[in-house]
Amino acid sequence: MRRWRGLDEVPEGRGRSVVTLGVFDGVHRGHQRVLARAAGTASGLGLPVVAAVFDPHPDAVLGRGEPEALTGADRKAELLAEHGADAVRVLPFTPELARLPAEEFVRRVLADRLRAAAVVVGEDFRFGSGAAGDVEVLRALGGKYGFTVEEVPLLSDGEAVTSARVRSLLAAGDVAAARDCLGRAHRVEGVVVHGAARGRELLGFPTANLDCPPRTAVPADGVYAGRLLRSAPGGAESRWAAAISVGTNPTFEGTARTVEAYALDRDDLDLYGLRMAVEFTHRIRPMLRFDSVEELVETMGRDVERCRELLLGG
Ligand SMILES: Cc1cc2nc3c(=O)[nH]c(=O)nc-3n(C[C@H](O)[C@H](O)[C@H](O)COP(=O)(O)O)c2cc1C
Ligand SMILES: Nc1ncnc2c1ncn2[C@@H]1O[C@H](COP(=O)(O)OP(=O)(O)O)[C@@H](O)[C@H]1O
């Protein structure tokens, strides 16, 4: 898969493409449907699918506050490819780009740079200065600049599947509903760092503490079942069923919010310094402050058994 960044870096003289564009945060089932449609059109035309991704999030540039990210840039590109993109183009969302009138945007980005033969977008797609352009405007401009436009209805299960909805489900700890919207478990990534060294010694449950990038969409504080994963060079992955804790460890009067995972039945791992990921499949309970370490350890033991049932079938 090819990845380019910027408006000027795409080599000139490339052929035409089927373009789908947006922020694609989370690459949720709605995005997946748009990508599938683009892939279908592209195979009919014998052209590649180019996913054009605005980055940073337009809300950050337009002063609406940057939302927490469901997917980092690398993971997003990987997911876009998995769902049918042949190439990913990052379009730096600058104030200048935001100010381009709808027709200028179409001419410069879609026609001149991406050489779109077809553009596939969700029905709520907006573009151009002041978000003045919608799908109808895009279709009219497509007639002038030589591309067709396909509009994909929003996927809904009574409520539209959107990145904002996934963020609010995660903020409420509802990782199961988030999983339904995403079509897979929500994942956060980070490097394993040293914690307070209590896990193994004091509690009997060593935990890998993930240092997640700022503005990562971490689910609400609580205890979850899921997986701890490691991407090895070449793409091979190790994965372990895991009991995951998100919170400040109030039993120890902690203040820093941590994401930590205990890989079930393993105490022989050395994960410090590795890039790892945690996937959240089920919520088990809220984060609690216990009066004694014994009560915490007893509860953690029960959490681990519950994770075993949920993840390994007992
Ligand atoms: C399954 C599980 C459940 C946990 N539940 C709680 C909890 O309810 N309250 C709490 O204060 N800490 C909880 N923790 C976090 C522990 O306090 C934390 O893992 C421990 O202090 C080790 O920290 P360290 O990795 O910084 O050494 C939990 C951890 C795990 C793995
Ligand atoms: N089953 C396991 N799950 C997670 N980490 C493990 C496991 N077994 C060993 N480890 C290692 O032990 C470290 C955690 O030990 P812990 O005593 O909790 O220390 P820390 O406070 O630094 O997190 C992890 O970072 C990892 O390298």
* pLDDT tens, residue by residue, 29-87: 999 999 999 999 999 999 999 999 999 888 888 888 889 999 999 999 999 999 999 99
Percent of the chain with pLDDT over 90: 83
Question: pLDDT-based confidence at 215, cuts 50/70/90?
Answer: very high
Q: How many CB atoms lie within 10 A of CB 22?
A: 19
* pLDDT tens, residue by residue, 153-184: 999 999 999 999 999 999 999 999 999 999 99
Pocket test for ligand 2, best of 264, 271, 303 (most atoms within 8 A of CB): 271
CA distance 281 to 176: 6
pTM assigned to the model: 0.93
Domains of the chain: 2-160 (3.40.50.620), 185-312 (2.40.30.30)
Ligand 2 neighbourhood includes 74 CB (under 6 angstroms): no
* pLDDT tens, residue by residue, 241-269: 999 999 999 999 999 999 999 999 998 89
Ligand 1 atom at minimum distance from 304 CA: 1
Does the structure show a pLDDT above 60 at 8?
A: no
Pocket test for ligand 2, best of 192, 207, 228, 259 (most atoms within 8 A of CB): 207
Q: Which residue has the tokens 């009067």?
A: 253
* pLDDT tens, residue by residue, 101-151: 999 999 999 999 999 999 999 999 998 888 889 999 999 999 999 999 999
| Residue 25 CB contacts under 8 Å (≥ 6 apart), including other chains | 57, 67, 69, 70, 71, 76, 163
Q: Name residues contacting ligand 1 (CB within 6 A).
A: 195-199, 203, 205, 207, 209, 223, 243, 245, 249-252, 260, 262, 287-288, 296, 300, 303
| 168 phi/psi in degrees, rounded to 5 | -75, -30
